[in-house]
Amino acid sequence: MADSQGYGATGGHGAPPQRQHPYGQPPHGAPQYGRNPYAQPQYAQPQYSRNPYAQNPYARPVPPQPANGLPNGLPGGPQGSPAGGFPGPAPRRNRLAVLIQFLLQWIYAPLWILGLVLLLVVLILADNVGGSGPSSDGWLKVNRSFIPPRRLRAELTGRPEDWERYVAPVLARRIAAAEAAHAAGDGELQADLGRVVGTRLALRLYRGLGAAGVVRLAERHGWHGVASGTDAGHVRLARHFPAPATLDAPSPQGPPAAPGTPWGPQPVRFAPLLPFVFLLQIVYVPVYGLLTFWVSRPEPDYWDRWGARWTVGPRAFRAEFTNSPAAWDRHIRRILERDTKRIRSAAAGTAAPAASATRTPAHRIHLKRATYRGAGAHRALAIAAEQGWTLDPAYAPDPANSLRLVRPDLP
């Protein structure tokens, strides 16, 4: 007979301790898989700051935040479901089929690549190619049917922990690349002047983990899942970055910046070499691009920086060859006039945006370093201010590489 202290009963003194299975094997009578970490756990939603540019004339009023805590326009899951209702693991593939594909891919993948190279050569040498190609470029991407050795174990075992070990580094690389693109100026501009960057993963990369598991891993990096952009074959992830709190930049009416500083004039290239660069770039630019197109660049704006160093445009040739302040001023004004005309012509073909007392429609332009190299970013900012352009508060200033400017809607 069991006493009040539990002698002789389950869980009493002298009874063996209850073992907890790491993947949720419950005791007898408990709900099945009640503690599975690959189920849809309840994670706290990230909180986003309000508009840091409340006094900025180009800032839009921040709409009320929805109940799920995501910025307006970023759909999440239903209220009370932080995981967003994302699907779980997909059905496992046949292990024999996976092994056969893994063995045969070392034969057909090189042949496939060789065939693509020969096809490219034929298309280049052919005088006329009739008809039209396929609507999708999926047949060009042999990597979609390639199983790397790191994924083979996960495909064969089907265990969620094996899939997580494979997916985690892949997801980390995708997120790092997207955040680097944001630092270079990429991202969808939001009403609060913040920007949203995103990425997505194909089902073959997370089959045994499920979209819910991928979202759980992404939340460790500060990202969240986007349910509206997720289909049966992909999971879409996004992150909202608020606008910079302050703009560390000099006043356009302030004293000129010193040469060599980020806002001052930058060194120009040796003038006698510029004619050779101007002529030879027609040859070495495409050759360099063809020889290095397969190289993964960590900087999303690599080609802009490479072009500013190794090429010279016809408009900037005179300014850089003479390195005259007057020539640089004329070049900057010419580029601003060109961009302004482009904005006006684009706006002429669209309906005028509805203006209100709290929101001023704005236009944005992007000046590259080659536009103001010898004059300096501060001088370019002063010339742009004469036409109503100011620094864009949605981007952190990067005067050594580019200037992002904004102004009210042009009449």
Q: How confident is the model at residue 170 (pLDDT cuts 50, 70, 90)?
A: very high
Residues 40 and 181 in one domain: yes
Asked whether residue 234 is domain-assigned, the answer is: yes
Across the chain, mean pLDDT equals 78
Number of Cα atoms under 13 Å in the Cβ half of residue 320: 26
> In the chain, what percentage of residues exceed pLDDT 90?
46
Please tell me the predicted confidence (pLDDT) of residue 289: 87
What confidence tens digit (pLDDT) does each residue in 225-278 have?
Answer: 998 777 778 999 999 999 998 888 999 999 999 998 999 999 999 999 999 999
Residues 200 and 292 in one domain: no
State the average pLDDT over residues 73-84: 41
Strands (E), 218-287: 224-225, 234-241
Please tell me the predicted confidence (pLDDT) of residue 44: 43
Residues 234 and 300 in one domain: no
Residue range(s) defining the domain that contains residue 318:
271-349+361-408
State the average pLDDT over residues 154-169: 93
CA-based max dimension of the chain: 104
Asked whether residue 224 is domain-assigned, the answer is: yes
State the average pLDDT over residues 206-210: 92
Residues 225 and 335 in one domain: no
Of 196, 223, 243, at which residue does a domain stop? 243
Q: How confident is the model at residue 7 (pLDDT cuts 50, 70, 90)?
A: very low
* 362, β-bridge pairs: 408
Residues 289 and 215 in one domain: no
State the average pLDDT over residues 285-306: 85
Report d(CA 208, CA 115) in Å as an integer: 33
DSSP 329-360: HHHHHHHHHHHHHHHHHHHHTSPPPPP-SS--
Please tell me the predicted confidence (pLDDT) of residue 137: 52
Ranges 14-28, 166-180, 286-300: which has the least confidence: 14-28
Please tell me the predicted confidence (pLDDT) of residue 141: 62
Residues 82 and 182 in one domain: yes
DSSP for residue 368: E
What confidence tens digit (pLDDT) does each residue in 144-153 have?
Answer: 778 888 899 9
Q: Which amino acid is at 259?
A: P
Residues 190 and 304 in one domain: no
Cβ neighbours for 236, distance < 8 A, ≥ 6 positions apart: 198, 199, 200, 225, 226, 229, 230
Closest residue by Cα to residue 214 from 204, 225, 222 = 225
Asked whether residue 109 is domain-assigned, the answer is: no
Q: What is the dihedral of CA 209, 154, 200, 193, to 10 degrees?
A: 70
State the average pLDDT over residues 280-296: 88
State the average pLDDT over residues 173-193: 91
For residue 59, pLDDT over 50 is answered with no
Asked whether residue 199 is domain-assigned, the answer is: yes
Residues 203 and 309 in one domain: no
Please tell me the predicted confidence (pLDDT) of residue 54: 38
Please tell me the predicted confidence (pLDDT) of residue 121: 76
Please tell me the predicted confidence (pLDDT) of residue 96: 93
Please tell me the predicted confidence (pLDDT) of residue 26: 47
Count structural domains, the chain.
Answer: 2
Asked whether residue 15 is domain-assigned, the answer is: no
Q: Which amino acid is at 191?
A: A
Please tell me the predicted confidence (pLDDT) of residue 411: 57
pTM for the model stands at 0.66
Residues 190 and 306 in one domain: no
DSSP 140-195: G-GGGG---HHHHHHHHH--HHHHHHHHHHHHHHHHHHHHHHHHTT-SEE-TTS-E
* % helix, strand, coil for the chain, step of 5: 40, 10, 50
Please say whether the beta carbons of 247 and 397 come within 8 A. yes
Residues 231 and 339 in one domain: no
Q: How confident is the model at residue 317 (pLDDT cuts 50, 70, 90)?
A: very high
* 3-class DSSP assignment, residue 3: coil
The encoded tokens of residue 105 equal 């891919």
CA distances from 122 to 108, 131, 216 (A): 21, 15, 47
For residue 58, pLDDT over 80 is answered with no
Residues 223 and 287 in one domain: no
Q: Which residues of 378-390 are buried (b: 16+ CB within 10 A; e: fewer)?
A: bbbbbbbbeeebb
Mean pLDDT is highest, among 31-35, 119-123, 397-401, for 397-401
Ranges 121-130, 155-164, 177-186: which has the least confidence: 121-130
Residues 317 and 377 in one domain: yes
Higher pLDDT, 117 or 47: 117
Please tell me the predicted confidence (pLDDT) of residue 201: 93
Q: Which amino acid is at 140?
A: L
Please tell me the predicted confidence (pLDDT) of residue 364: 92
Ranges 48-62, 100-114, 354-368, 388-402: which has the least confidence: 48-62
Of 224, 243, 262, at which residue does a domain stop? 243
The encoded tokens of residue 87 equal 């699907």
Please say whether the beta carbons of 223 and 361 come within 8 A. no
Ranges 17-31, 120-134, 314-328, 334-348: which has the least confidence: 17-31
Of 243, 260, 285, at which residue does a domain stop? 243
